[in-house]
Structure 1
Amino acid sequence: MNKERVLLIMLASLQFTNIIDFMIMMPLGKQIMELFRIETSQFGVVVASYTLSAWASGMVASLFLDKFDRKSSLLFTYSGFITGTFLCALAPNYELLVGARILTGIFGGILGAQVLAIVADTVPFERRGTAMGIIMAAFSLASALGVPIGIFIAKHWNWQMPFIVIGSLAFIIWIIAFFVLPSMRAHLQNVKKESPFLLYKTAFTNKYQRNGLLMMIIMMFGHFMIVPNVATYLQYNVEFSEESLMWVYLCGGIISIYSNPLAGRLADKHGKEKIFIVFVLLTTLPVFLITHLGVVPVYVAVGITTLFFAFSGGRFSPAQALISETVNPQHRGSFMSFVSAMQQLGAGLGALIAGIIMSTGPDKKIQGFNVVGYVAIGVTLCSLFFIHRIRPPKA
């Protein structure tokens, strides 16, 4: 196995724990809402607290992230993430759970940016779509393996136990990463002294970077209007049991294991802009169907959510590959942290707005999810405006 492949597997493992920590909160929504006696909008705050804190920390980290060895900063950030994950398991009430999610988000958001920066630094552009697809496969594995196992653990123990398991697994991965990852200092060579705030100025004045940022914010806004609410909607409105819910993540994750790397390879072969457009258009169909579901057989609902996993995930590999090329290597870590921060902002706002639109009826069914679907589709289609307006900088 070559060094590039080992590096990508290690980074995907880090992302696996990062993503499952975020994703497991969604199918636990029904348990947490009933245990802490909170409303749909308050659960939206639990989800958004992670993403909005990740946005804030990403903005700060983008000012200095390129000043350190990539390995050292990655391990430090991962340590903070592990601490936050364990604190989630110890939260005795709603307020402290939100606090623990904020801490986890502070480090989790930076972690994702560091992974993307390392991939962009070490993998040539002609193979970067495939590499991003491998990293995105961590999302698929988290869905196919992590979330169903987490649901099973929560059902047979309690909602805190999945976070204990995730934190323990992350600690083991941290130890392996300490010994396996090489020092990464190439980006520190030939660095000019300049104001750290120049990054912000460039990101908003360089039209290619600005368009890339706007596209990612829009994508994440639409995506996270849907994602945090699917599990709760299926349980209350489609009358899914927790066992049935496991099939949603298992099937969606399995198909994404193949669809995300495939999207990356197709992007490298046929053009990243073209493949992005195809997957955006395909995504709108399952979004519409999910948000209008009534009581249907489990296999029908699972089939629709599986399409959503496959199509929605396929957008991100070509998008990330394109955006990573709009900045020079010396500034890539900080810029990707900035991109990640903007993604988290979009995700947090999407979750909050969806929570405001939706409500719980007298029969405990979720109301307004169809409206959320219309808004998400409209926002998602807006991302097409920017895809042909992202170009790499001149050397």
Structure 2
Amino acid sequence: MEKTTIESSAFTSHQKIIIAILALLQFTVILDFVVISPLGDILMKKLSMTTSDFGFAVSAYAFSAGISGLLAAGFADKFDRKKLLIFFYIGFIIGTVFCAFSSSYHMLLMARIFTGLFGGVIGSISLAIVTDLFVIQQRGRVMGFIQMAYASSQILGIPAGLFFANHWGWHSTFIMIAVLGLLILAAVLTQLPAITKHLEMQSDKSPFLHLWHTLSNKQYQIGFMAIAFLSVGGFMLQPFGSAYLVNNIHISQEELPMVFFFTGLSVLIIMPLIGKLSDKISKFKLFAAGSILSVIMILIYTNLSPIPLWQIVVLNMILFMGIMSRMIPATTLNTAIPDMQDRGAYMSITSSLQQIAGGIGAVCAGFIVHQQTKTSPLEHYDILGLVVSGVTLLSVLLIYRVSQLAKAKVKDANL
């Protein structure tokens, strides 16, 4: 059964299946990306990488994902979204297998580029599917459930990945993700319906004209800039998280899974609450509150000296509550900006610029942070915290402008 717009605020059983499939997809894609951070200390030691090398390894995925998204943007509204999703997800699984069999820094770098070419587009396709199938009054809850994939990757995926890495080598972590991907691909093939309603609204513009039309829209440009800045902070702070915990805070590799487990648990609790709140109160106010909490916690976190495990767990939990409290309202507001016929292209461009901006952030972080030897403490992590805090505050101003545009769009739609 195909249904492209749901008018009621309650979810049907069909919608719940779609939400579950998209959440599982995001789980594997997010896990593939975020697991490289907790593996960072292991990878830098095993593959003899410097902090700048590791920054490039993280950003390689982001840059290739961004380029791929831009190239795909013009075609994103020309095909059945299900077929597009399947194509890119298969490529993502193949790339993850390549990562598993990498034996040097340069092999891993190439594998991350390949994976990014496919994995980076999946999120934008999923967002376009959500925007096609759910009205804006439902999207906060949908985004909350789908973005719980991030928390699930923290609670289940990262601890499991670290367990595999500690017992069978870091290669086994990527093999685990690829096997999960194959199971989820089977669910997509058998359960996700065709999504083609947007094809009825297509013009005769070529894909490249469609891309240019979307890029040159001044209202869209505000959304592009806001979401790009939103991603920079996470890309700057996250890649060196495990190296900071191990070398500066003196958390052992065996204790890292516990840190990520409880961090993910806090996000899992907060996500549905934020999703419901974003459908009931001002999304911008919710975003601003999360940003203020994030800045406070970032400044505390990046200036820590060695402390007990339970204290770092608590600080991580509060920090990620603030960070994730920003993502749902910002993403939901952004989905209201594009017209239906531009949604696929808009989401692809948004995702691309987000990835590229994040890649730049990761590279910059790699040059800000320094490590004398493989076991030395990270230097200048406090400076990184100041830079990330500044970017976070700037994003508040940009999301305010997005919220004004979103209100105008909803008002026009109801006239």
- State the TM-score, normalizing by the size of structure 1: 0.97
CA distance in 2, matches of 1:383, 1:138: 24
Trace 1:338-349 onto structure 2 (pairs within 5 A): 338-349=349-360
Cα RMSD (Å) of the superposition? 1.4
- Residue number in structure 1 paired with 2:391: 379
Q: Which amino acid aligns with 1:303?
A: V
Cα pair distance change 1:192/1:265, threshold 3 Å:
same
Pair 1:272 & 2:270 matched: no
Alignment partner for residue 255 of structure 2, among 212, 231, 244? 244
1:209 and 1:323 in contact (8 A); partners too: no
CA distance in 1, matches of 2:399, 2:99: 38
Pair 1:157 & 2:168 matched: yes
Give, in angstroms, the shift of residue 60 of structure 1: 0.4
Give, in angstroms, the shift of residue 348 of structure 1: 0.7
Give, in angstroms, the shift of residue 261 of structure 1: 2.1
- Residue number in structure 2 paired with 1:209: 220
- Residue number in structure 2 paired with 1:218: 229
Cα pair distance change 1:251/1:52, threshold 3 Å:
same
CA distance in 2, matches of 1:307, 1:196: 44
- Residue number in structure 1 paired with 2:111: 100
1:220 and 1:344 in contact (8 A); partners too: yes
Q: Which runs of 5+ in 1 are unaligned?
A: none
Give, in angstroms, the shift of residue 198 of structure 1: 4.4
Give, in angstroms, the shift of residue 224 of structure 1: 1.2
Deviations 1:189-229 (A, max 9, x none): 13111243445544554343222111111111112111111
CA distance in 1, matches of 2:41, 2:47: 10
1:136 and 1:261 in contact (8 A); partners too: no
CA distance in 1, matches of 2:208, 2:82: 24
Pair 1:119 & 2:130 matched: yes
Deviations 1:128-154 (A, max 9, x none): 111111111000100111000110110
CA distance in 2, matches of 1:99, 1:37: 16
CA distance in 2, matches of 1:265, 1:368: 38
Provide the identity percentage. Answer: 36
- The residue matched to 1:326 in structure 2 has which SS? coil
1:143 and 1:252 in contact (8 A); partners too: yes
- Residue number in structure 1 paired with 2:62: 51
- Residue number in structure 1 paired with 2:197: 186
Q: Which amino acid aligns with 2:268?
A: I
CA distance in 1, matches of 2:36, 2:300: 23
2:76 and 2:345 in contact (8 A); partners too: yes
- Residue number in structure 1 paired with 2:100: 89
Q: Which amino acid aligns with 1:277?
A: A
CA distance in 1, matches of 2:65, 2:319: 25
2:297 and 2:315 in contact (8 A); partners too: yes
1:208 and 1:389 in contact (8 A); partners too: no
Pair 1:142 & 2:153 matched: yes
Q: Which runs of 4+ in 1 moved over 4 A?
A: 198-205
Q: Which amino acid aligns with 1:367?
A: E
Pair 1:230 & 2:241 matched: yes
- Residue number in structure 2 paired with 1:60: 71
1:199 and 1:335 in contact (8 A); partners too: no
CA distance in 2, matches of 1:59, 1:159: 32
Q: Which runs of 5+ in 2 are unaligned?
A: 1-11
CA distance in 1, matches of 2:266, 2:102: 34
CA distance in 2, matches of 1:361, 1:306: 29
Deviations 1:96-128 (A, max 9, x none): 100000011111110111111111110111111
- State the TM-score, normalizing by the size of structure 2: 0.92
- The residue matched to 2:15 in structure 1 has which SS? helix
CA distance in 2, matches of 1:200, 1:210: 13
Trace 1:300-339 onto structure 2 (pairs within 5 A): 300-339=311-350
Matched positions, count: 395
Alignment partner for residue 401 of structure 2, among 375, 381, 389? 389
CA distance in 2, matches of 1:207, 1:285: 33
Give, in angstroms, the shift of residue 388 of structure 1: 2.4
Cα pair distance change 1:75/1:205, threshold 3 Å:
closer
CA distance in 2, matches of 1:295, 1:321: 38
Deviations 1:331-371 (A, max 9, x none): 11111011111110121111110000111135611101100
Q: Which moved more, 1:369-378 or 1:357-366?
A: 357-366
- The residue matched to 1:12 in structure 2 has which SS? helix
Alignment partner for residue 299 of structure 2, among 281, 285, 288? 288
Q: Which moved more, 1:201-210 or 1:221-230?
A: 201-210
Deviations 1:209-250 (A, max 9, x none): 222111111111112111111111101111111122112210
Cα pair distance change 1:272/1:185, threshold 3 Å:
same
CA distance in 1, matches of 2:157, 2:245: 19
2:290 and 2:325 in contact (8 A); partners too: yes
